[in-house]
Amino acid sequence: MTNSTSVFRVAVIGPESTGKSALCEALARHYQSVWVPEYAREYLNEVGWKYSMQDIIRIYNRQYELESEQIPHADKIIFTDTEAIIAKVWCEHVYGICPDEITELIQHKPYDFYLLTFPDLPWEPDPLRENPGKGEFLFEWYKRLLEEFNLPYGIVSGTGMLRTQNAIKLLENILPFN
């Protein structure tokens, strides 16, 4: 495990509307552990659509704090709905640059495994979603970054319970406690 705790950390990342939250919740239930919801939703619901790059940095620092708060409640594994690779893409996509702070989070706080959600679910409108029709474009960007940073990952596809079962199969092959 890449962290100093005995908890295996799994980040679920992918384009908007690819079932990341539902997958985290289902996996946490399956493994009888905990998951960390995407803090960006809470933050943006409070501050509204006018956000800055500094807000993105705040969001992801808080995301890691929330994870740290949940780790003591985890049973061998924790799932987090988003992490700094999404922040990097968000900054580069919206502002054309990414602050070093975000890249450092990726490099210095890597997860033990990443589940990358494939955009094979119908895109659902949501007031906080900004990228309709860009699912495959963003998916390829996340995949490229996972490979550039040499991070272990698996691609999750399928709908409904099949998506969860596919994620479990990926995890069963790499979990250190099976």
24 or 130, higher pLDDT: 24
Confidence of residue 51 (pLDDT cuts 50, 70, 90): confident
- pLDDT exceeds 90 at position 133: no
Give the global pTM: 0.91
Decide if 20 is inside a domain: yes
Decide if 113 is inside a domain: yes
Report, as an integer, the average pLDDT of 11-34: 96
User: CB–CB of 74/33 below 8 Å?
Assistant: yes
Provide the domain limits for residue 14: 8-172
- Residue 26, domain CATH: 3.40.50.300
pLDDT above 70 coverage of the chain, percent: 91
> What local confidence, expressed as pLDDT, does residue 132 receive?
64
Decide if 76 is inside a domain: yes
Positive/negative CA dihedral, 159, 17, 91, 79: negative
Domain count, the chain: 1
113: left (phi over 0), alpha (psi -120 to 50) or beta: beta
